[in-house]
């Protein structure tokens, strides 16, 4: 089996046919988000157009030849081939289409020095680049939705759990920090990975560059890339830039998936805490209308888990490729874009809907649950040390005795009485304390318990609001980056198209 065949088999999972059709990207809340991924024919055309402009600038072809080739390029762009095909086949067809419409005097000049390897590598980065921006737009929408939910519930108290047991009271806004924070970090990783992906392989030839000495920086600029890949071998052989993007996407999906699973646990084990909107529930048995199932939430969990597995498999397969230019694997790498992007965008749109309208919070019930399970009991010792000046060791011993008595009586922390504390104090320090119950309530009531925690990042409302403000600013910066990046790419594409159209309109006699 030859090397290209091995590469194709290794990447068969990435480029394999999917039973679900690729969907067109739908509008995001972002102003520039309503766009579909470019088709392979279009990006191959852009690469060829940039190459032709470079040939003219280098004096390899004259104005008359450039004009003829430009007219052929425009004709090929406006009449793509029918049906789908592999990127390599489409590159061959595009080359043939261009050649068929130019004079014999410039035959072969359009793709002179343009190796298939660099053509496909550049087209692949163009497609994955747009996919990254589409995913970023929808990741921003998810972040916006969960941030709004948190801003709405800064003072909604609830129990926080660890290991399935209530540990302390918190607020829903603070509780959402474990998805808001990771989403922000994942967006940072998307931006960082995009900078590496947005480097241009064009001009690398088959791997050692071309004798035509193309200005690779200009080629990169014409296609909207940030810069050329510095090493021509790396430009055609490395898979790490793409893997970096997949890592960042997996971070987005993984942080969402953890919270969605948590919501599922809450709904199954404590149905009065969070309720799904009726658009998220179904009645599978008409004869049992009271049996409402959260099938849409279950489907979202499965979708996110499947996507994580697919991304993980894709990364492993990429790293198993042999050392050197990707060759036949380009077809699988480019072919994976619509499938993985469609899966990701579907999941992100559904998650945005969950945070925006799907999740109904039962504030009263959560507030009632916040103080149960001895969640504020840790502050009893703090109260004794702070207000009654009891030594730390004695204060902790008194607290243990009081809590033991509460458990034996089946009472919650709210059932603590001064007599209980005095009994424990007599056994520990030999005297009664005579605490004031109102003063004790300032430590043990869930809301007061939260308000007393004034460290940075705590669930105290003012601390949570400050944190949310910083996350809001972070989100705004990321939206601005997305808009500026898309604007820069769009400007480069329009400028390249204008150059080809201007060349086509020039008279052949100069």
Which residue in the block uniquely carries the two structure tokens 């939705």? 145
**pLDDT for 17:** 38
Which residue in the block uniquely carries the two structure tokens 């609830």? 158
- 510 within 8 A of 66, measured Cβ to Cβ: no
- 290 within 8 A of 284, measured Cβ to Cβ: no
Is residue 453 classed as helix, strand or coil in its secondary structure?
Answer: coil
* Enclosing H/E stretch for 450: helix 446-451
* pLDDT tens-place values along the chain, 510 residues long: 444 444 333 333 333 433 333 333 334 444 444 566 778 999 999 999 999 999 888 888 888 888 999 999 999 988 887 667 889 999 999 999 999 888 888 888 888 888 999 999 999 999 999 999 999 999 999 999 999 999 999 999 998 888 778 888 999 999 999 999 999 999 999 999 999 999 999 988 777 666 565 789 999 999 999 999 999 999 999 899 999 999 999 999 999 999 999 998 888 888 888 888 888 877 666 666 666 667 889 999 999 999 999 999 999 999 999 998 998 899 999 888 989 999 999 999 999 999 999 988 998 888 888 888 888 888 899 989 989 999 999 999 999 999 999 988 888 888 888 999 999 999 999 999 988 888 888 888 888 888 888 899 999 999 999 999 999 999 999 999 999 999 999 999 999 999 999 999 885 444
Q: What six digits make up the tokens of 145?
A: 């939705």
Where in the chain are all domains bearing CATH 1.20.200.10?
24-368+474-505
**pLDDT for 508:** 46
Residue 66: how many other CB atoms lie within 10 Å: 24
Which residue in the block uniquely carries the two structure tokens 């003012």? 462
Q: What six digits make up the tokens of 446?
A: 């869930």
Query: Any idea what DSSP says for residue 58?
Result: T
**Burial letters 232-258, b for 16+ CB under 10 A, else e:** beebbbbbebbbbbbbbbbbbbbbbbe
**pLDDT for 23:** 36
* Enclosing H/E stretch for 493: helix 461-505
Burial classification of residue 461, based on how many CB atoms lie within 10 Å of its CB (0-12 exposed, 13-18 middle, 19 or more buried): middle
**pLDDT for 61:** 85
Gap between the Cα atoms of 347 and 330, Å rounded: 26
What contacts 141, CB < 8 A, 6 or more positions away? 28, 29, 30, 33, 348, 349, 352
Gap between the Cα atoms of 500 and 86, Å rounded: 26
Is residue 217 classed as helix, strand or coil in its secondary structure?
Answer: helix
**pLDDT for 82:** 67
Query: Which CATH number is correct for 24-368+474-505, 3.40.640.10, 3.40.630.30, 1.10.10.60, 1.20.200.10?
Result: 1.20.200.10
**pLDDT for 221:** 95
**pLDDT for 394:** 93
Q: Which of these, 195, 202, 185, 52, lies nearest to 120 by C-alpha position?
A: 202
- 396 within 8 A of 380, measured Cβ to Cβ: no
* Enclosing H/E stretch for 124: helix 116-152
Query: What backbone phi and psi angles, to 5 degrees, belong to 389?
Result: 60, 35
**pLDDT for 19:** 39
CA-based Rg of the chain, rounded to a whole angstrom? 31
Residue 70 C-alpha from the chain's centroid:
39
What contacts 364, CB < 8 A, 6 or more positions away? none
Gap between the Cα atoms of 364 and 359, Å rounded: 15
CA angle 196, 198, 204 (to 5 degrees): 95
End-to-end CA distance of the chain: 53
- 464 within 8 A of 173, measured Cβ to Cβ: yes
**pLDDT for 37:** 73
**pLDDT for 241:** 95
Alpha helices (runs of H) in 410-460, residue ranges in sequence order: 418-429, 437-444, 446-451
Gap between the Cα atoms of 21 and 37, Å rounded: 14
Query: Any idea what DSSP says for residue 272?
Result: T
What contacts 244, CB < 8 A, 6 or more positions away? 192, 193, 196, 197
Alpha helices (runs of H) in 231-362, residue ranges in sequence order: 232-237, 240-269, 295-319, 329-353
**pLDDT for 438:** 86
- 371 within 8 A of 161, measured Cβ to Cβ: no
């Amino acid at each position: 089996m030859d090397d290209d065949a091995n590469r194709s088999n290794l990447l068969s999972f990435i480029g394999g046919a999917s039973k679900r059709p690729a969907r067109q990207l739908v509008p995001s809340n972002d102003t520039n988000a309503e766009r579909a991924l470019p088709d392979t024919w279009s990006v191959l055309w852009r690469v060829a157009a940039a190459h032709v402009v470079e040939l003219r600038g280098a004096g390899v072809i004259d104005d008359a030849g450039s004009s003829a080739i430009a007219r052929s390029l425009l004709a090929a762009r406006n009449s793509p081939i029918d049906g789908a095909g592999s990127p390599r086949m489409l590159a061959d067809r595009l080359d043939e289409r261009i050649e068929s419409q130019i004079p014999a005097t410039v035959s072969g000049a359009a793709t002179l020095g343009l190796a298939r390897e660099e053509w496909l590598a550049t087209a692949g980065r163009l497609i994955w680049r747009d996919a990254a921006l589409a995913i970023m737009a929808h990741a921003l929408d998810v972040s916006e939705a969960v941030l709004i939910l948190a801003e709405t519930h800064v003072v909604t108290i609830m129990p926080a759990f660890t290991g399935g047991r209530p540990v302390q009271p918190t607020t829903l806004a603070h509780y959402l920090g474990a998805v808001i924070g990771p989403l922000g970090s994942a967006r940072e990783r998307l931006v960082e990975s995009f900078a590496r992906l947005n480097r241009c392989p064009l001009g690398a030839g088959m791997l050692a560059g071309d004798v035509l000495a193309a200005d690779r920086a200009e080629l990169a600029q014409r296609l909207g890339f940030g810069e050329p890949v510095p090493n021509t071998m790396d430009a055609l052989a490395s898979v790490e830039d793409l893997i970096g993007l997949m890592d960042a996407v997996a971070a987005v999906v993984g942080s969402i998936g953890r919270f969605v699973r948590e919501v599922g646990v809450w709904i199954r084990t404590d149905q009065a805490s969070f309720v799904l909107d009726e658009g998220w529930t179904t009645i599978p048995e008409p004869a049992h209308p009271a049996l409402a199932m959260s099938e849409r939430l279950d489907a979202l969990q499965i979708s996110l888990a499947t996507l994580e597995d697919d991304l993980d498999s894709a990364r492993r397969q990429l790293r198993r490729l042999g050392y050197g230019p990707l060759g036949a694997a380009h077809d699988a790498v480019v072919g994976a874009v619509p499938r993985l992007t469609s899966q990701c965008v579907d999941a992100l749109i559904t998650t945005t809907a969950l945070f925006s309208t799907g999740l109904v919070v039962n504030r009263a019930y959560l507030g009632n649950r916040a103080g149960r399970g001895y969640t504020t009991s840790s502050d009893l010792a703090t109260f004794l040390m702070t207000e009654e000046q009891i030594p730390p060791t004695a204060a902790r011993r008194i607290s243990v005795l009081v809590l033991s008595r509460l458990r034996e009586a089946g009472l919650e922390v709210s059932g603590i009485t001064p007599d209980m504390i005095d009994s424990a104090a007599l056994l520990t320090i030999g005297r009664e304390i005579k605490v004031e119950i109102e003063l004790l309530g300032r430590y043990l009531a869930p809301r007061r318990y939260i308000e007393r925690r004034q460290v940075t990042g705590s669930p105290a409302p003012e601390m949570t609001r400050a944190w949310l403000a910083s996350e809001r600013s972070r989100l705004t910066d990321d939206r601005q980056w997305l808009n500026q990046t898309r604007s820069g790419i769009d400007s480069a594409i329009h400028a390249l198209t204008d150059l080809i159209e201007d060349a086509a309109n020039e008279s052949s006699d100069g």
